[in-house]
Amino acid sequence: MRVLSVNVGVPREVTWRGKRVTTGIYKEPVVGRVPVRALNLDGDRQADLRVHGGPDKAVYAYPSEFYDVWRRERPELAFPWGQFGENLTTEGLVDHEVNVGDRFRFGTAELVATQPRLPCFKLGLKLGRDEFVTEFLERGLHGIYFAVAREGQVKAGDRIVPLRRDPHGFRVTEIARLYARDRDDVEGTRRAADLDVLPASWGEYFRRRLARLEPVLE
């Protein structure tokens, strides 16, 4: 497993449906070592901190394997590294093989997987296809958000080294499945609600949903 590209960018204003909006999704590959801080990479910023960034979503990684899929399925669109707004384009690190709570070393930084990426309208804005957000969710090619457990540096070509597998075995893809498709899965929701390695916001989300589902079963 390795890092193919390190991508950063700062928020910019763009026009969407006649309105000016600010987004940090425009990221470009950079050369050399980039410091990884607790909240983001040096040179990188998020626009709307209510839904992007923060300690549980400090670094976003997207697999090059998923790029291969999109390039085959949507050849009319351009997919350079960083097109999905990811900080790290990776090889060999895919959603369905990673548990929430798994810890990895990227270069000299240590990161912990926290959740899948669930995009807002700004992904469609960047690609010039509003419908792409729905397609992205339906295809389930999400990529992974990470928290920074130990600050360090990362560059293109660095190895990704597994350090610890979370014993709960709750895949990142399970969160996406329960959120986007199988909302009536009581057992899955109960397991997610009890998962202490999930970010607090996700734990609360699944507990609220479980409270709505359980009375239906009585």
Residue 110 lies in a domain: yes
Q: How do the pLDDT tens digits run along the chain, 218 residues long? A: 999 999 999 988 888 888 888 888 999 999 999 999 999 999 998 877 776 788 999 999 999 999 999 999 999 999 999 999 999 999 999 999 999 999 999 999 999 999 999 988 889 989 989 899 999 999 999 999 999 999 999 999 999 999 999 999 999 999 999 998 888 899 999 999 999 999 999 999 999 999 988 765 54
The separation between the first and the last C-alpha atoms of the chain, rounded to the nearest angstrom, is 47
Task: Tell me which residue of 36, 89, 61, 63 sits closest to 146, measured CA to CA.
Answer: 61
**E-assigned strand segments in the chain:** 2-8, 12-16, 19-23, 28-29, 34-36, 59-63, 88-91, 103-106, 109-116, 144-150, 152-154, 160-164
121 and 34 both lie in a single domain: yes
Q: Which domain range does residue 67 map to?
A: 2-169
Q: Which residues pair with 16 in a beta bridge?
A: 19
Residue 174 lies in a domain: no
Dihedral sign computed on CA atoms, order 42, 44, 49, 52 = negative
CATH number at residue 127: 2.40.33.20
147 and 195 both lie in a single domain: no
Q: Which residues pair with 147 in a beta bridge?
A: 112
Tokens 């660095």 correspond to 158
**E-assigned strand segments in 107-197:** 109-116, 144-150, 152-154, 160-164
Phi-psi region for residue 38, left (φ > 0), alpha (ψ -120 to 50) or beta?
A: alpha
141 and 51 both lie in a single domain: yes
> What totals of helices (H) and strands (E) does the chain contain, helices first?
6, 12
89 and 9 both lie in a single domain: yes
Residues 6-46 have pLDDT tens digits of 999 998 888 888 888 888 899 999 999 999 999 999 999 88
Distance (Å) of CA 196 to CA 19, 129, 162, 199, 203: 40, 37, 21, 8, 8
> What backbone phi and psi angles, to 5 degrees, belong to 131?
-70, -10
Rounded Cα gap, residues 30 and 195, in angstroms: 36
Residue 175 lies in a domain: no
60 and 118 both lie in a single domain: yes
Residue 206 lies in a domain: yes
Q: What is the pTM of this model?
A: 0.93
